[in-house]
Amino acid sequence: MATTRSFPNPFTLVPRRLRGWILPLLLLGVWAWAAHARWTDSALLVSPLDVWRRAVDQVRSGALAQALSASLWRCLWGVALGSAAGLAVGALLGASRRAERLLGPSFHTLKQISLFAWIPMLSVWFGIGDAAKVAFVAMAAFFPVVLGTFEGVRSVPREYVEVARVLDFSRWQMLGRVVLPAAAASIFTGLQLAVIYGWLATLGAEYLLASGQGLGNTLIDGREHFWMDLVLFGVVVIALVGFALNSLLVAVERRLLAWRVKTVARY
């Protein structure tokens, strides 16, 4: 009786940590081959080597450090301000039914407005400098933090609150020992979205409010001079920074919420 021969799955030969690099490396190989074979004469298709040379030039000249520091400064300040306001508003809406009835309809109406629709108004109020960009980023971070905090506070089990009242907890003890631990996962989800949206809003603000330095201005320079290697370099840097920020938040969340995993494992 003939036996069928099984072939090993090629993906199992690659370590799990490296499997996420398979698709990017394949795309890079196709890109390099397309540029080498000159599939098109368009100046839009530049080789990865040209992008690498541009990257080296940006690093050596200090242009990358200046643009990156300016963008990160705006992003971090905007996310910090928006998250602080979002935590306060979300906690208020989640803890008070009266506040939800009073402020909830206005909040849910405002969050339906496209973020970029605020650009003209922000430019009138704050100009086109850093203040307007930070305010734009803060608005992008505000809404996901409000929603995450609201859902976290509202979903605290009623049994926890009743036990805390029996133990005669003060308001601060109720907040620190009951509400925040129970709502931590939802709050961190809102903060993670705030950082992602804040980073995207930073680039959008720099691109639309074109003044000063930043990665968005790097893309504008590349577009205006038709330097596609500079444009692609800026896109790669933006993607890498976004990936790094997201990975950092995931690591912080795992560290701070490790007690939840241990608690679940006990039961």
The pLDDT of residue 151 is 86
pLDDT at 263: 47
Determine, yes or no, domain membership for 50.
Answer: no
The answer to the question of residue 155 being in a domain is yes
Instruction: Kindly state whether residue 30 falls inside one of the protein's structural domains.
Output: no
Q: Round to whole Å and give the CA distance between 130 and 132.
A: 6
Whether 215 is covered by a domain: the verdict is yes
pLDDT in tens, 145-175: 999 988 888 777 777 677 777 776 766 777 7
pLDDT tens for 62-82 read: 889 999 999 999 999 999 999
In a domain, 106, yes or no: yes
For 251, the domain range is 80-266
Residue 5 has pLDDT above 60, yes or no: no
Note whether residue 75 is domain-resident: no
From 210, 205, 199, select the one nearest 245 (Cα to Cα): 199
pLDDT value at residue 180: 75
| Residue 266 confidence (pLDDT) | 47
Query: Which residues are within 8 A (CB) of 157 and not within 5 positions of it... i.e. 6 or more apart?
Result: 182
CATH number at residue 223: 1.10.3720.10
Mean pLDDT computed over 114-142: 86
Neighbouring residues of 66: CB distance < 8 A, sequence distance ≥ 6: 213
CA angle at 179 for the pair 177 and 181, rounded to the nearest 5°: 65
Least trusted range by pLDDT, from 30-34, 56-60, 259-263: 259-263
Percent of the chain topping pLDDT 70: 81
Would you call 135 exposed, middle or buried from its count of C-beta atoms within 10 A (0-12, 13-18, 19+)? buried
Backbone angles phi, psi at 211, to 5 degrees: -150, 145
Query: How many structural domains does the chain have?
Result: 1
Across the chain, mean pLDDT equals 80
Report pTM.
0.79
Q: What local confidence, expressed as pLDDT, does residue 4 receive?
A: 53
pLDDT tens for 216-245 read 888 888 888 888 888 889 889 998 998 898
User: Any idea which of 122-131, 176-185, 203-212, 241-250 has the lowest mean pLDDT?
Assistant: 176-185
